[in-house]
Amino acid sequence: MNIVVSGTGYVGLITAVCLAELGNKVTCVDINQEKINMLKSGKAPILENGLEELMKKNKEKLIYTNNSKLAYKNADIIFIGVGTPEKKDGGANLKYVYEVSNDIAENIEKDTIVVIKSTVPIGTNKKIENIINKNARNNVKVEVVSNPEFLSQGTAIKDTLYAKRIVIGVNSKKAEKVMKELYKDMNIPIIITNRESAEMIKYASNNFLALKLSYINEIANLCEKVGANIDDVTKGMGFDDRIGDQFIKAGIGYGGSCFPKDTKALNWCANFYDYDLKTIKAAIEVNLNQKIKLIKKARKYYESFENCNVAILGLTFKPNTDDLREAPSLDNIQILLEDGANIKVFDPVGEKVYKNINFEKITYCNSIEDTLNGTDICFIFTEWNCIKNMNIQLFERNMKKPIILDGRNCFDIEKIKKYKVIYESIGREIVNNA
């Protein structure tokens, strides 16, 4: 089959490369010539484990172009994997999906199946099908299929090639047959449903995980009040198969490209249909408050951060990605800067992350040691392995005042007690040996 993937961002590029790994020849289309040139050179525009290696392995099966007319002309299947960013009102911005749909309508010359990989509000697949068929210039017919992705940044290749399930929302047996044929060799459970249900499965899945994270953060906050240890609590909970041990790690909230916008989008959808989705509203509120929990802890030590020398370890919303979208670090940096702090930061991704930050008056360091030198307080926002495995003595040795606020519970409490530091984490006892 002649497969085309529109969009070479996170969803589109992962989809294309994995389809090539399955033996297909795939054409990747993007309007951004700089990205196309980068891809042609063998470089990925995103940081993802194993992605460039897979691109290299399948380079004979991958074509990168900005010529949509040529790409769509004889396509059997077109995947749409462009972004659906959050609008100011919380809804999903479908501008890019609609632009691609109109481009497809203008250029296809044969009956085609269009597969929506992008996360879109319930009912969008039907709208896209109507748009393309209404505006198609040639005498062709398009069927739109919902095939949502369930990727986690850092493990996206594995999440695609060894997925727990493949969800396919179709309105015809013909489309169902084509999609089953595409995925026949993957030995993964396939769920066939209508398009609306497939769209809802995506939102319901992401929102449930966001709920788990918000819930456990609430429990962690209460643990601090009553003297319980959240690590022991989650360990005890995780043995219950009905709960599981995934997404119950306490911290300073979720970020990234999915949970923040998908919770708001589902809440927007509920409001549109005059339904009050109380649980999701609560998760959004909890997460907003959790993001600045370390700032609230820091106020015990510094009423103002004016001329306070601050070390920040970790910028990305999670380890093993260069994604800064909705990262808790950014909200906290903004507050600290507005209060007059002097900030030094370290993140192992380095310049690739730094260049995307618009904050001024920040010193970027190439090592943890340099970041800590002469500082009055340290915030940990990302649990990179190099941070989790660092020499704890560096806090005591390099900081002017060894106050550590750990938003990701990177260190064992008993180990921390061996050093002359003040250490606060999430849902655990405070260590004050300074």
Q: What is the DSSP letter of 59?
A: G
Angle at CA 12, nearest 5°, toward 8 and 14? Answer: 100
145: helix, coil or strand? Answer: strand
Report the distance separating Cα 254 and Cα 251, nearest Å: 8
How does DSSP assign 139-167, residue by residue?
S--EEEEE------TTSHHHHHHT-S-EE
Rounded Cα gap, residues 148 and 390, in angstroms: 38
Measured CA to CA, the distance from residue 363 to residue 344 in angstroms comes to 5
Residue from 258, 308, 378, 410 carrying the catalytic annotation: 258
CA 377, CA 298: separation in Å to the nearest integer?
Answer: 8
User: CA nearest 145: which of 112, 177, 119, 168?
Assistant: 168
Residue type at 226 in one-letter notation:
V
Asked if 46 and 13 touch (Cβ cutoff 8 Å), the reply is: yes
Task: Reply yes or no on whether 258 is catalytic.
Answer: yes
Structure tokens at 355: 């260049």
Which token pair is 254?
A: 């979720």
Q: Give the residue numbers marked as catalytic.
A: 258
